[in-house]
């Protein structure tokens, strides 16, 4: 039996320190909700989770871009639906102006409305969305994934020849009204094609948005399995470490008291 070296106390102190460190880490996991509170807990898992988190953020950014493109698309179609009504009325006026029972004075009245509708269509062609032209023949590249790949959204050009021929017509005479009707019908046919293009763009964007939403959900589940703590399991470990710390503290006290028994040998 020795006094200077208390091996039992040293051993108890080491075990108590280990239990205290484990208890502190368990508490940190429960309070943070993450089982990786330091890179050393799972170096590979921390690296994978970091990459997955970055990809999730990029996917969300792509979703935001697509949502804005859908809004752009919807705004386009809203204007085009009104242009369709204007062209329908212009074709009607072109037919009315060819009525042989009408004089040129009557046709002048029809022509006033015709010209106002033409001016409306010309004005719509200049509209923009947040500074980006709504009706340009330039395609817009929309980001559709986390790698930066893009979808070329075909443009709609209201300044195309089919439209300008219609808006440049008049119904002031029977002959002019006949020409105007031909031009307006061509513009209506072009508008039908353009609205189909807008619809196709919308369909593609909506499918892509749905795909990205599913991808984001799966990536989130994957990173959760790596990072998130299992509360039921960790709470059990926390209770275990708490008991070990309490027991270790009691045993360290007992180990420190052992040398005092040596005094009896000296009495």
What is the third-level CATH fold of 43-227? f41 fragment of flagellin, N-terminal domain (1.20.1330)
Two tokens, residue 5? 């070296």
Q: What percent of the chain has pLDDT over 90?
A: 62
What does the pLDDT average to over 165-193? Answer: 96
Q: Out of 51-65, 92-106, 173-187, 242-256, which region has the weakest mean confidence (pLDDT)?
A: 242-256
**CB-based contacts of 133: which residues, under 8 Å, 6+ apart?**
127
Give residues with Cβ within 8 angstroms of 102, minimum separation 6. Answer: 96, 110
Whether residue 234 has pLDDT greater than 80: no
CA 151 – CA 149 distance, rounded (Å):
7
Q: Are strands 140-143 and 132-133 parallel, antiparallel or unpaired?
A: unpaired
| Cβ contact 77:198 at 8 Å | yes
What's the mean pLDDT in 132-159?
A: 92
Confidence category of residue 5, pLDDT binned at 50, 70, 90: low
Q: Does position 31 have pLDDT exceeding 60, yes or no?
A: yes
- pLDDT at res. 266: 65
pLDDT higher than threshold 60 for residue 199: yes
Nearest to 122 by CA among 166, 63, 154, 56: 166
- What whole-number distance in Å separates Cα of residue 160 and Cα of residue 179? 18
What CA–CA distance (Å, rounded) separates 156 from 5? Answer: 90
Q: What is the pLDDT of residue 3?
A: 66
9-23, 122-136, 202-216: least confidently modelled range: 9-23
Any alpha helices (H) in 172-266, and if so which ranges? 174-227, 231-257, 263-266
pLDDT at 12: 78
Look up residue 104 and give its two tokens. 């040129």
Q: Where are the alpha helices (DSSP H) in 125-173?
A: 161-167
Whose CA is closest to 70, among 222, 198, 220? 198
Q: What is the mean pLDDT of residues 65-77?
A: 95
Q: Does 193 have pLDDT greater than 80?
A: yes
pLDDT on residue 2: 61
């Amino acid at each position: 039996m020795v006094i200077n070296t208390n091996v039992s106390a040293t051993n108890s102190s080491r075990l108590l320190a280990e239990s205290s460190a484990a208890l502190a880490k368990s508490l940190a996991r429960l309070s943070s909700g993450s089982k990786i509170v330091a890179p050393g807990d799972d170096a590979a898992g921390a690296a994978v989770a970091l990459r997955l988190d970055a990809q999730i953020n990029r996917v969300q950014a792509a979703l935001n871009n697509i949502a804005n493109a859908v809004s752009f698309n919807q705004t386009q179609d809203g204007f085009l639906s009104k242009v369709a009504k204007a062209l329908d009325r212009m074709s009607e006026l072109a037919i009315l102006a060819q009525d042989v029972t009408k004089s040129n004075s009557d046709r002048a009245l029809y022509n006033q409305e015709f010209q106002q509708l033409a001016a409306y269509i010309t004005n719509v062609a200049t509209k923009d969305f947040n500074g980006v032209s709504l009706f340009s023949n330039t395609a817009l590249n929309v980001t559709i994934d986390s790698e930066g790949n893009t979808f070329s959204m075909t443009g709609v050009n209201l300044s195309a020849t089919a439209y300008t021929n219609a808006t440049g017509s008049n119904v002031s005479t029977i002959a002019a009204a006949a020409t105007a009707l031909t031009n307006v019908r061509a513009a209506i046919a072009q508008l039908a094609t353009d609205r189909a293009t807008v619809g196709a763009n919308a369909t593609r964007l909506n499918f892509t948005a749905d795909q990205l939403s599913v991808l984001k959900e799966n990536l989130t589940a994957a990173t959760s399995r790596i990072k998130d703590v299992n509360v039921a399991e960790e709470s059990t470990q926390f209770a275990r470490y708490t008991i070990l710390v309490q027991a270790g503290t009691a045993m360290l006290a007992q180990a420190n008291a052992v040398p005092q028994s040596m005094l009896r040998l000296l009495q």
